[in-house]
Amino acid sequence: MSDAMLPASKPASAAVYKAGGVDLLDLMKEYLLQPARVVSVLNLPKMSSITESKDGVSLGALVTLAQLEADQTLRQRYVALAEAVAHAATPQLRNAATLGGNILQRPRCWYFRNEHFQCLKKGGTKCFANEPGAENKYHGIIGNQTCSAVHGSSVSTALVAYGAQVELQGPQGVRRVPLESFFVRPEQDVRRETSILPGELITEVLLPKPAAGTGAWYIKFGERESYDWATADVAVVLEQEGRRCHRASIVLGAAAPLPLRVPAAEAVLVGKPVTEETARAAALAAVADATPLEQNAYKVSVFQAIVRRAILKAAGLS
């Protein structure tokens, strides 16, 4: 998980912030970053705590994934987030990787990570993963026309589903941004994944208190259950009144260049009882806009399956 808290557009000669440094070291070895200075932010105690309030929970940006995994409040009230954290990387990496760095990690696309391919994200003229004959088995199936790299943070998939906000602090002061709109689509700026500004740090992530009758679940699908990157993942948060769905949040990970909320799938559920039939219809709606590449059409069926299962689990039906 990345702990390089740096916007993608930051000049190569600038200083970078370092927390756990997991992705930062990779980026430096891959010549994607060559910072003049590395500034540790680990000794900032106010960013290292989990704080509960009447409005929800505040997660410091320097809280490790291992701390999140062990927190009983999260395990009881934010089940989808707890599941996402528990399935992220390995125990060793979870001990080092921080929440802020995980959110800000760069894509794992091997064309982007390979110094021999000057892709759009590095100022080139094309997305190599979208070219005929490309190795794109693990790439995006939705919103992939400009860039088909997928965001690597499964934790963000769950955070977006819960309506989390990020608090940022920098030269221009403090601001809060819904995490869903914090991520930048390639059509907006293909060189960046987030809207963090130069010099800014994520200081905390704010989770709203779940409404009464909320159920949630997270499912990760990967080639190796133990520690692999997600090939597909989904987080579902449902608010129910009796058996009827009052509000739904369905977010796909590893489907698009950012954690992707799918309103069309949510609309299938809202106002109706959650059943096998409505869950299946919502799963079909979730991938209705899919434009799979040469090698990743299998992801469409995978997402249909795990979205349906996550909905039923969140609704307490399986």
Summarised one tens digit per residue, pLDDT across range 20-30 is 888 888 899 88
Q: What is the pLDDT of residue 225?
A: 67
pLDDT over 50 at 6, yes or no: no
Q: What is the pLDDT of residue 110?
A: 94
Averaged over 101-122, what is the pLDDT? 94
Q: What is the pLDDT of residue 33?
A: 87
| Structural domains for the chain | 214-314 (3.30.390.50)
Q: What is the pLDDT of residue 43?
A: 81
**What's the CA gap between 154 and 112, in Å, rounded?**
19
pLDDT over 90 at 46, yes or no: no
**What's the CA gap between 192 and 8, in Å, rounded?**
5
146 touches 154 (CB < 8 A): no
Phi, psi of 179 (to 5 degrees): -60, -35
pLDDT tens figures, 137-154: 999 999 999 999 999 899
314 Rama sector, left if φ>0, alpha if ψ -120 to 50, beta otherwise: alpha
Collapsing DSSP to helix, strand or coil, 143 comes out as: coil
Lowest-confidence range among 1-5, 51-55, 95-99, 104-108? 1-5
- Kindly state the DSSP code that residue 170 receives in the 8-state scheme: E
Give 54 or 8, the one with higher predicted confidence.
54
pLDDT tens figures, 288-307: 999 999 999 999 999 999 99
Note if the pTM is more than 0.85.
yes
Tell me the residue type at 291: T
